[in-house]
Structure 1
Amino acid sequence: MSGDGVRIRAIADADWDAITAMESRAYTELGLTEGRAALRSRADASPETCFVLDVGSRQSGYVLALPYPSFGYPDLERAEQPALTSLPPRNLHLHDLVVVERLRGRGLGRRLLNHLTWTATARGFERISLIAVGRSEPFWSARGFTAHPGVSPDGYGANAVYMSRTTVEPTKRVDARVPCP
């Protein structure tokens, strides 16, 4: 994914300062920042489903996703713990998808989501879940996610909504013209 100077790649050790700064800018106003150790623990739990978005030579976005049972989600107050089950969940939880402010509205969030969807499908995940925060439910609905009103995501703010969708065929494009969160 690079002919236009955009590349999605695995997270490297040198990326954590930029990821932490992007996360802080995206979530401080919502009171949902986690800090470097918690973020890194989520990526360490599933490095093959966590990515950095480079535009030119700059880290300009990231996605953190990790296997979680359906209707489960990370506790923002704690670092991720090793899985206690021998059967991996068929659900991939999209914990964070962030694009830097100056590049939003250019389809980069869609590219990250498409890349994650391809990865999830290739790895045998049947669903992708997330928690929509900061009134972002319309953004995610436009990308095929459905709200589950019976699930109350504790610790994610007053307007948090648990959402999920099935993984789609990798040839299908998730396309909506809504600015990236």
Structure 2
Amino acid sequence: MGEERSQEIESEQAKMHTASAARRWREMVADDLPRVLAIADKCHPDHPEDEAVFRERLELFAGGCCVLEQDGETVGYIICHPATFGHPVPLDTLLGALPDNADVLYIHDISIDLGMRGKGLASEAVDHAKRLARKHDYDRVALVAVNRSQDFWAKHEFMIIADEDIGKALVGYGGASSYMVCDLT
């Protein structure tokens, strides 16, 4: 019976290894955009953005754009880029260029396909953003939390920045949005 249980455990470990081997984060490429947009539309129906916004972020800061593949299918993504602290980036707006005075890495969006949620994948994306910020010598990561996601972000050490001017900049995000920052120092 002990040997049988040992084989069962080894079988489960092999399945976990196979599952994780079939899932990976990689840099986004332009060909990923149709699937990325489909995921965005499903995950953020109240915050639609044009393909040009995603394409521009990819062109301006490719290292901040990654997709999550499961068995060869894109099931999630993260888009982040350098920005200026205290200046949330308006939704569905082209940047034109990255700011010369960038002092924060800004998470534009993390989305995981609805069927893949609850597996810690969004947390993996947050960890990626923090590593990327450190790599580029940013001491902070910022974002706008939407869809009442503040608790998720708080678990990752993000704090709400309550500021009247920032609040005015969030109007396009809806009433349940917050500008949040994680201090990496």
TM over 0.5: yes
Q: Number of paired residues?
A: 163
Deviation at 1:137, TM superposition (A): 0.6
Does residue 145 of structure 2 align to residue 132 of structure 1?
yes
Contact 2:50 2:92 (8 Å CA) reproduced: no
Match in the other structure for 1:161: 178
The secondary structure found in structure 2 opposite 1:158 is: coil
Cα 1:142/1:17, change in 2 over 3 Å = same
The secondary structure found in structure 2 opposite 1:79 is: coil
Cα 1:103/1:149, change in 2 over 3 Å = same
Contact 1:22 1:100 (8 Å CA) reproduced: yes
Q: 1:68 aligns with which of 83, 88, 104?
A: 83
What do you get for the CA RMSD once the two structures are aligned? Answer: 1.6
What CA distance in whole angstroms lies between the structure 1 residues aligned with 2:148 and 2:99? Answer: 33
- Structure 2: runs of 5 or more not aligned: 1-18
Match in the other structure for 1:10: 27
The secondary structure found in structure 2 opposite 1:155 is: helix
Does residue 33 of structure 2 align to residue 20 of structure 1?
no
Q: Which moved more, 1:76-85 or 1:145-154?
A: 76-85
Q: Which moved more, 1:145-154 or 1:98-107?
A: 145-154
- Structure 1: runs of 5 or more not aligned: 169-181
More helix by share: 2
Deviation at 1:78, TM superposition (A): 2.1
Please report the TM-score for the alignment, with normalisation by the length of structure 1. Answer: 0.84
Deviation at 1:13, TM superposition (A): 1.7
Q: Which has the higher contact order (CA 8 A, sep 6+)?
A: 1
Contact 1:43 1:65 (8 Å CA) reproduced: no
Contact 1:53 1:112 (8 Å CA) reproduced: no
Quick check: which has more Rg, 1 or 2? 2
Does residue 159 of structure 2 align to residue 142 of structure 1?
no
